[in-house]
Amino acid sequence: MQSEFKVKAYLVGDRLIVWDHRGASELYRNGFYGRPMSTGKPKGVDVDSPLILDLVEGLYLMEMEVIEVYDQYTGRYIDVDELRSYARRRIENFDLKYVVYRDLRGRGYVVSTGIKFGSDFAIYRYGPGIDHAPYLVQVKRSDYTIDSTDIVRAGRLATTVRKSFIVAIPRIEDGRISYLLFRWFKV
């Protein structure tokens, strides 16, 4: 995503807020980044309200040189390393989640938070309001052992919301990510 100007985002707790409506609309229109403050899921690609970004997508946009981040209360500029360090303190397994987010965005998917589905990410082919997210992704450490309870929980969750469930297992040491897709069917 290329921009003629860097969008300013302000760090407030665990979120970044883009107060400028023009910048918010540009971010949402060019990749469905963030969630408009005025509505859960707009019906079009233009938004006319502030935009809320989570820390994972905020760091991604900083690394892509699309946004600049400032402290909401002091106005102080926050660089990439400081935002990454802050996110690591606020989000469990942040580095693993970030690697998966970056990989999925790099593959052309629209990635949004999956918190309302009880997962780390909801994955869209085209974007919110255009299609439904066909996948839910849960990020796990490479030493994670899946058990039958996890499989049943994933199956119930995914079938309830009509989505496929994916467990993403990134290996930081070699940069590889394994994706395990669970599909449910009736017999």
User: Catalytic residue among 132, 135, 179, 186, which?
Assistant: 132
Q: Structure tokens of 117?
A: 């589905």
179 carries an active-site annotation: no
- Rounded Cα–Cα distance for residues 38 and 71 (Å): 22
User: Catalytic residue among 124, 126, 135, 186, which?
Assistant: 124
| H/E segment holding residue 11 | strand 7-12
125-128, long-range: CB < 8 A, 24+ apart: 127/32, 127/45, 128/32, 128/41, 128/42
Strands 176-182 and 164-171: antiparallel
Contact predicate 83/55, CB 8 Å: yes
33 carries an active-site annotation: no
132 carries an active-site annotation: yes
Contact predicate 37/49, CB 8 Å: yes
From edge to edge, which strands make up the β-sheet containing 121-124? 110-113, 121-124, 135-139, 164-171, 176-182
- Rounded Cα–Cα distance for residues 9 and 7 (Å): 6
Query: Catalytic residue numbers?
Result: 124, 132, 163
